Amino acid sequence: MGFLLAKILFLLVLAAACGALFGYWWFRRHYEDVTLEYARSRDEWASWRRGFEARLAARPEVDLQPLREQVAAVDEAVRSIDVPIPERVDLASVHARLDEIETRIGDIRLPAPSDLGPTEQRLTAIEHALFPVQTRLDELESAVRAFRAVPSQTVDLGPVLERLGTLQSRLENPPAPKAAVRAGSRNLLTHPGHGKPDDLTQIKGVPKVLERRLHRVGVFYFWQIAEWSAEDVRYVDRKLAAYKGRIQRDEWVSQANELAATPSAAPRPTEH
């Protein structure tokens, strides 16, 4: 065992010695001294730099005087431009006009709503007058419910209940008071008391704003316009100052005659 270890140690020493000898031989064969090469490169660089500086110094100097003159001319031209200063706008008249409009708007007084006191009193009187009828209906309903028919007979209470329902509907939705004719006119009404007002804008030449004006005058139905005489036309024309002459120009009466015959138009109330 010791002999084997000694043999391995000897081989390691021999390999190290051989490697050292080989390295020494290789470095001696490939060794180059770079000191002389560095000195030569430094001299070449210094020579090239001196030559470049000499060539640069030999170049003629650039004359920048024309460029300076052009810049000065441009600067002088810019300074000579006379930009007009805008005059101050006087808005005092505009403000005064706006203040006047605001004052006029503030002075507008809307007309007070019409007095509905008499109408409310009339409705209250109708309600009081119908109170006994309501009481009688309640008694009849109680009597009908308490009625016991003979099992062998079949009593049809449909008509009675239908009649009671009709009376109940009339009590809950009493008819509107009949419209009265305004003083000084023949068929101008105080309010639309004969059913839902007709759509007067169906008449050519009557926009929505004019329809509202006609309602204030007392015109709500086609049959009213269809019944106008020449005197009625002149009377309403005076009421429509802003639309003077439009009734005859657009032939409202003839248009209303055709529209009053349509199914959707409100019928003329019958006189009792």
DSSP string, 123-186: HHHHHHHHHHHHHHHHHHHHHHHH----TTS----HHHHHHHHHHHHHHHSPPPPPPPBPTT-S
Give per-residue pLDDT as tens, 59-116: 887 788 898 999 999 988 888 887 666 667 778 888 888 888 888 887 776 555 456 6
134-146 confidence digits (pLDDT tens): 777 777 777 767 7
Kindly report whether the global pTM for this prediction surpasses the value 0.75: no
Q: Which of 263, 266, 267, 246 is nearest to 203 (CA)?
A: 246
Q: Determine the Cα–Cα distance for residues 141 and 135; give it in Å rounded to an integer.
A: 10
Where does the pLDDT of residue 240 fall: very low under 50, low under 70, confident under 90, or very high at 90 and above?
confident
**What average pLDDT does this structure show over 194-206?**
90
Contact by Cβ (8 Å): 236, 217: yes
